[in-house]
Structure 1
C-alpha cells in the first residue's frame, strides 16, 4: 500500500510538471505553448484512476492485516496489483492504446479479486 501511495505522489509531481508551462509559464516553448499539452490530460485522468479500483485493493489489504491473514499468496497478489498499476499508468500516459490499458486493468482487477478471495477464505477459517 505504501508503494502505491508513493507512486500516486509521483503522479502528482508529474502532473505539476506537466501543468507548469500553462500555470506558471515555466518550460513553455518559444511560441508560448505547453510542450506537455497532449499528455497532461492523460496524466490527470490516470491520477483520477488511482482513486477508483485501488480502493478495493486497500480495503482487502487492511482486512487481511486486521485478521492477521497475510500470506505469500496475498503478498504476491499485492505486488502483481502494484506492477499492474504502474503498467496501466504507463499505458494510459504514454500511449493511446485502449487494448493495452484494458489488458493491464484486467491484471489489476484479477489481482484484487484474488486478494478478496484470500480475505473471504481467511474470514471463513476464523
Structure 2
C-alpha cells in the first residue's frame, strides 16, 4: 500500500479539523460583531455563545478527542508496516463517520444520528486498534 493511500484519510481528517476551526472562528467573530455576545461574557467560559456558534465549537473540540487515537494508530501502522488494504479501508470508514458526525453536530444536531455516527467511528477505531495490536503481539520477531 502506498504511503499516499495510507495518509489520505488522515489528511482529510486534519482538513476537517481545520475547516471546523475556521468555521468556529467565523461564527464567534460574527456573534461578537452582531452584539449577540460580549467579550466579557465568554472570557472565562463558553456557555454565552449563541447556539450555533456553540455547536460548531463543540464539534471542533470533538475533532481533538477521538481522532487523536486515529492519528497515533496511523503513524504506528506506517512505522511497523501494518498499514495494508484493510487498514486503509477502515481508516476511510472512520473518517466518513467523523464527517457524518461533524455534519449532524453542526446542522440539525439530532442526537440519535449524531450518536450513531460517533458510535460507528468509535467501533471502527476500536477494531483498527485491536487488529493492529493482535498483529503486533502475534508477530514472530
TM-score, normalisation: structure 1: 0.85
- Structure 1 residue 118 displacement after superposition: 2.4
Structure 1: tracts of 5 or more residues without a match: none
Contact 1:61 1:115 in 2 (8 A): no
Per-residue CA deviations over 1:64-110 (Å, capped at 9, x if unaligned) read 11101111110011001111111001111111311111111111011
Query: Which residue in 2 is equivalent to 1:90?
Result: 103
Quote the residue 2:90 is aligned against.
77
- Correspondence for 2:24 among 1, 12, 15: 15
- Is the 1:60–1:116 Cα contact (8 Å) retained in structure 2? yes
| Residue segments in structure 2 that go unaligned for 5+ positions in a row | 1-9, 38-48
- Partners of 1:12 and 1:53 lie apart in 2 by 16
Whole-Å separation in 1 of the counterparts to 2:131 and 2:108: 34
- Partner SS for 2:51: coil
Residue of structure 2 equivalent to 1:37: 50
| Alpha-carbon distance in 2 for matches of 1:41, 1:14 | 11
